């Protein structure tokens, strides 16, 4: 068991799917967890679900594209708990429209949440991590950040940017004992994938050498390892968790 005892962790996009599983996994490994969601009702629903599981977490719903709002919430969390040790930048949206059907506004929306918001939250926690003599920033990338995808150019473009942000911040912040890594999930059994018909799912599985679609827990465990002291010499890495589905 990896122990995150006495660690304070913030997970953005923590109300469902992979993000919610990261919240569960960190809590089960003794971290104090604060989840961020996009709306009050989704945050309250996630907290209620976790409470029924015996998990006590905090939640906020700041606008991740408003730096002043993020800065205020991060300060509030630091004042409440005394330190911030881990930030997981998981909030994001995907896209699959062809370029002719993608507007400039569509592209900007993807970049705003997948890249700009990640910059905002990272920038806001860095001063507290420096003061605390270290910390961990983890970002959700994607297998499409390495291989691209047939349509929906904004999504892989944003994830390529996530990798660049990860690798560059790792070098910048290493002298302050702040590690920065990313996890690049492959095809994962989220609500969206689970709702796909059998005739769509089975061909997908055939493209994965390990022979199955990934579970949210597979991704959460990768984040857990990178957040822990077991990964103390790992920074600037984009960890592919995709069952070797690399094409």
Smallest CA-to-CA distance from 113 within 139, 83, 143, 84 is with 139
CA 129 to each of CA 30, 102, 125: distance values in angstroms, whole numbers, following the listed order: 19, 38, 6
Residues annotated catalytic, as ranges: 155
Exposed / middle / buried, residue 6 (Cβ in 10 Å: 0-12, 13-18, 19+): exposed
DSSP secondary structure code for residue 9 in this structure: E
Helix (H) or strand (E) holding 45: helix 40-52
- Give φ, ψ of 198 to 5 degrees: -55, -40
Integer Cα distance of 132 and 43 in angstroms: 28
| DSSP notation for 220-233 | HHHHHHHHSGGGTT
DSSP secondary structure code for residue 112 in this structure: I
Helix (H) or strand (E) holding 8: strand 8-11
Residue 120, both tokens: 């905002």
Integer Cα distance of 167 and 161 in angstroms: 10
């Amino acid at each position: 068991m990896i122990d995150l005892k006495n660690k304070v962790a913030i997970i953005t996009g923590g109300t469902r799917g992979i993000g919610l599983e990261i919240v569960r996994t960190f809590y089960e490994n003794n971290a104090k967890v604060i989840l961020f969601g996009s709306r009050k009702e989704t945050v309250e629903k996630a907290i209620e679900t976790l409470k029924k599981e015996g998990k006590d977490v905090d939640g906020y719903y700041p606008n991740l594209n408003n730096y002043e709002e993020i800065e205020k919430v991060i300060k509030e969390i630091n004042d409440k708990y005394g330190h911030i040790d881990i930030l997981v930048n998981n909030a994001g949206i995907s896209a699959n429209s062809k370029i002719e059907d993608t507007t400039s506004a569509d592209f900007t929306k993807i970049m705003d949440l997948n890249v700009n918001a990640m910059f905002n939250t990272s920038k806001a926690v860095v001063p507290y991590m420096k003061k605390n003599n270290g910390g961990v920033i983890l970002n959700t990338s994607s297998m499409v950040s390495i291989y691209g995808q047939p349509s929906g150019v904004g999504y892989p473009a944003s994830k390529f940017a996530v990798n660049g942000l990860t690798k560059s911040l790792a070098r910048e912040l290493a002298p302050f004992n702040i590690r920065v890594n990313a996890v690049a999930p492959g095809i994962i059994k989220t609500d969206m994938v689970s709702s796909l018909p059998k005739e769509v799912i089975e061909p997908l599985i055939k493209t994965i050498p390990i022979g199955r679609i990934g579970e949210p827990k597979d991704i959460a465990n990768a984040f857990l390892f990178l957040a822990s002291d077991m990964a103390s010499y790992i920074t600037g890495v984009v960890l592919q968790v995709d069952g070797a589905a690399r094409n």
